[in-house]
Each structure stands twice: as C-alpha cells, then as structure tokens.
Amino acid sequence: VGRSPRGKAIDVTPEEFQAAWEINFLSAVRATRAAVASIRETKGSIVNISSLAGKSASRHLGAYPPAKFALSAWSQQLRLELDAEGIHVFLVCPGPIIREDAGERYDKEAADLPPEARQPGGGVKVGSIEPAWLAGQIVDGCEGRWSELVVPYRARFLFAIQQMWPWLGDWLLNRFSS
C-alpha cells in the first residue's frame, strides 16, 4: 500500500502529512504486528515496499519522502531486533514502476507545480521498472535473505554520496532532475 501525493513540502498541511504517514508507514507497522506471530513460527520474511524516496528526498513529493524514510528506518530496526529470531526483514526501494497512467496520474494535484512534478519520480531522471521483473527480484531477495533491494542499482551510489556529503548529493539530485 502506498500513495505518492505531489506538492511542495512547506505547503503540505499537517493533515496531509498524517494521511501520508498512515498509508505509507503505519499500514506496514500494523500489518507486521498482525502477522509477526505466524512469521515467528515459519522463520519467514517481512517485505516492506518503500521507494527511492525512502532513501533520498526529491522536490515536489510533499509528504511522501518523510513517510517512506520512516518505513526504511522501521525495516532496519526490525532487521536488528528480529534477526536473532530467524526472521528475515527485506526492504525494497524501487524507482517508478511502469503503469498505464504514469504520465498523467499527478496532473490534477500537481497543476500548480512545475511540469516535472507530474512525472514519475517527481522529475528525477530515472527509468521505469517492469513490474514482473521487480516481482522476480523480490522473490530472489526473499530466497537469498537480502537486507535491501534498491533499483535502479546506480541510485545506491547517490545515496552513499548523500550520506557522506549532503551538499553534493543535493547538487546531483538537482542536476539530474528535469
């Protein structure tokens, strides 16, 4: 479950932040808590689907990145706490996924924003991901008990740069956005 509303962060109301928080973060917390007893029995996997925005913010994504950052932190915390019980926690951070309405789904809510805000990824120049391919990667990640999957893979370099040199990461994001 997730929703990626558009808007300038400063213009997003607390109520809109709360709605993004509910659907993009707290829904995963609730689902995990409801299923953890069964997962403990099977030593299974918890898979949280985040976003590239769960690792790096981007312009015009409003309340989406803060909620997805929380999901990323929740996943890491679960990994640290549940690993000793044999529970696998897998965070998936994909870029835009190919869908029929990809070029127009944000037109109405982003009407007052620059044109790139209407694009998948909020205008960050990154290709869209084939859903079937991503599903296969998620299965592989569960079988291999990966910690994280970030696609496109090259985004990991940006995230590493942003952690070490935030100013350089911001410059790169601005440089490679529409």
In three-state secondary structure terms, 42 is helix
Give dist(CA 69, CA 117) in Å, integer.
Answer: 20
In three-state secondary structure terms, 83 is helix
Residues assigned a catalytic role:
64
Q: Establish whether the linkage from the previous residue to 152 is cis, with ω within 30° of 0.
A: yes
Give dist(CA 126, CA 175) in Å, integer.
Answer: 13
Token representation of residue 154:
């090259």
